[in-house]
Amino acid sequence: MGAAEALFIAEGYENASVDAIAARAEVSKRTVYDHFGGKERLLSAVMADVTSSLLEAVRRATREELPDGCDPGPSLLAFTRRVATVTFGSSEYVQFRKLLAAAGPLRGSVMQELDDPAELLMERITAFGDTGALHVPNPRRATEHFVALTFLVALEALDRQQDPDVIDELLVDGVEAFLRAYGPRSEAGRPRTGASSR
């Protein structure tokens, strides 16, 4: 797997042959197929290995920052900041981004095979909707909106090498925008005001 990771990053998925991976690992090509069944499954295994600690960090943040009965405003902000802190600057995250870029057209299928921490977040957002703390007619869509407003925006800024203070401002703004969109409804059907995460 170490040999595969190095070649996937250096040459990309399409150009990294099983022959080259086997030669670098000093095993036979047959051994690679016996263990992984092919190059695509090998890529999935490498991605899962690299992301295991990142996924556990997100799971832990979900459990600890979004417990049952918590206030969604400050809790979602604390969760977002924690995930950003423990993932974006880590060496595992850097390797993950490199491998994701190397995966090319298989990027989507590889991501689907990984344990998706967004499912845990969706469970918490669903729970907020069940208790009336948020108005969540479609939990999956709401989760996608939350990720887009916070982590995806922050990642784009990170790619532009923005200052950490700017990244945090984007996370705060993203959580607030999410709360404005999904805050509890008044009798008139409009979001209640005053749900600020600052």
Q: What is the pLDDT of residues 63-117, one digit of tens each?
A: 999 999 999 999 999 999 999 888 877 777 778 878 888 887 777 776 666 656 7
| Predicted confidence band of residue 163 (pLDDT cuts 50, 70, 90) | confident
**What's the predicted TM-score (pTM) here?**
0.74
Is 162 part of any domain?
yes
The alpha carbon torsion through 178, 84, 92, 46 (nearest 10 deg) reads -10
Residue 147: predicted pLDDT: 93
Mind listing the pLDDT tens digit for each residue in 9-65? Answer: 888 888 999 999 999 999 999 999 999 988 888 988 888 888 887 888 888 999 999
Is 96 part of any domain?
yes
3-state secondary structure of 92: helix
For residue 112, the tally of other CB atoms under 10 A from its CB is: 9
Is 21 part of any domain?
no
The percent of the chain in helix, strand and coil, each rounded to the nearest 5, is: 75, 0, 25
Is 25 part of any domain?
no
What residue type is 41 in one-letter code? R
Residues in contact with 86: Cβ distance below 8 Å, sequence separation at least 6, in sequence order = 54, 57, 61
Residue 68 is part of a domain; what is its CATH number?
1.10.357
Q: Helix crossing, 18-25 with 29-36: angle to 10°?
A: 100
Inform me whether the pLDDT recorded for 188 exceeds 50. Answer: no
Radius of gyration of the chain, Cα coordinates, nearest whole angstrom: 20
Is 67 part of any domain?
yes
Average pLDDT on 124-144 reads 96
Mind listing the pLDDT tens digit for each residue in 53-76? Answer: 788 888 899 999 999 999 999 999
Using CA atoms, how far apart are residues 174 and 128, in angstroms rounded to an integer? 18
Domain, as residue range, for 78: 51-182
Is 136 part of any domain?
yes
Is 37 part of any domain?
no
Q: Helix crossing, 91-103 with 2-11: angle to 10°?
A: 60
Count how many domains the chain has: 1
Is 188 part of any domain?
no
